[in-house]
Amino acid sequence: MKLCRYGKAGYEKPGVIDGEGRLRDLSKVIDNIGPEELSPRQLKTLSRLKPETLPLVNSSPRFGVPYVGIGKFVAIGLNYSDHAKEAGLPLPAEPIVFMKATTCINGPNDDIIQPRNSTKLDWEIELGVVIGSAARYVSEQDALNYVTGYCIVNDVSERSFQMATTQWDKGKGFDTAGPIGPWLVTTDEVPDPQSLALTLDLNGTRMQTGSSSTMIFSVAALVSYISQYMTLMPGDVITTGTPPGVGMARKPRVFLKPGDEIRATISGLGEQRFKVVAEN
């Protein structure tokens, strides 16, 4: 299933994308899409639905974040071998874990607001992993059983903020720095999360082309690793690192400015399209 939420910010309705890519209204079936709806039991019930029997949404509404109730926004740095190479950095011996503030979460096509004093705003398309069942000390072999689905995340980064100290939080967690969506695609439609193609275009020019096959630590390895140190709860999202092509690594460097437009895609997970605007 491709689950989503659509409508005016703060008033989104639950929806599902049918087999022909059309938006269907789920609001007569469930009130919202949150951790409870993403549990294995509830997903099994939803999977019995036939999307073509649901009301068709004929307009082209705004997509919001595809579900609510994100308790933790866990991020992984330097997790693609080809990205590490472009950055001139050694492969990490274990995952580099940091947190993005939940207040940075943004709709997939909503504007990115460049913060005050920002000079090095950058992009990072990433595969998002959504947890469906509480995970603590899980093995790598069992880890994917705790995943409910996948989505596109953009780990928008302000490099001058990020590199000012040893902690990345302020450069990764400013408001609007975490677009998620447009859909949450359940695991039955993503049999192998390590075979997904990722692309990102800036103003129509291809900047990032990559594959989740070049991850240093797989999705299963990451879920298992993180669960050794914190309990992953239903609704938590893990964003798993970016392939090569970020602005900071280009020669000459390229950074985002107001008016720039981003298009980001992951195979089977849809696309994000957003614009950069200045802080008022």
Residue type at 90 in one-letter notation: P
pLDDT for res 264? 98
pLDDT for res 198? 98
Backbone phi, psi, residue 263, to 5°:
-125, 120
Give yes or no for a contact between 175 and 103, defined as CB atoms under 8 angstroms apart: yes
Give yes or no for a contact between 93 and 258, defined as CB atoms under 8 angstroms apart: no
Read off the pLDDT of residues 33-51 as tens digits, 9 standing for 90 and up.
999 999 999 999 999 999 9
Strands 2-6 and 270-278 turn out to be unpaired
Across the strands, what pairs with 5?
Answer: 14
Structural domains in the chain plus CATH codes: 2-53 (no CATH), 73-278 (3.90.850.10)
Question: What residue ranges of the chain have pLDDT lower than 70?
Answer: none
Q: How far is it, in rounded angstroms, from Cα 152 to Cα 93?
A: 26
Which pTM value belongs to this model? 0.96
pLDDT for res 280? 82
pLDDT for res 102? 98
Q: What is the CA radius of gyration of the chain?
A: 18
pLDDT for res 78? 92
Strands 178-179 and 96-99 turn out to be unpaired
pLDDT for res 270? 98
Read off the pLDDT of residues 100-154 as tens digits, 9 standing for 90 and up.
999 999 999 999 999 999 999 999 999 999 999 999 999 999 999 999 999 999 9
pLDDT for res 141? 98
In 3D, which of 237, 244, 236 has the Cα closest to residue 216? 244
Q: How far is it, in rounded angstroms, from Cα 3 to Cα 7?
A: 14
CA angle 38, 43, 49 (to 5 degrees): 135
In which region does residue 10 sit, left (phi positive, over 0), alpha (psi from -120 to 50) or beta (all else)? left
pLDDT for res 67? 98
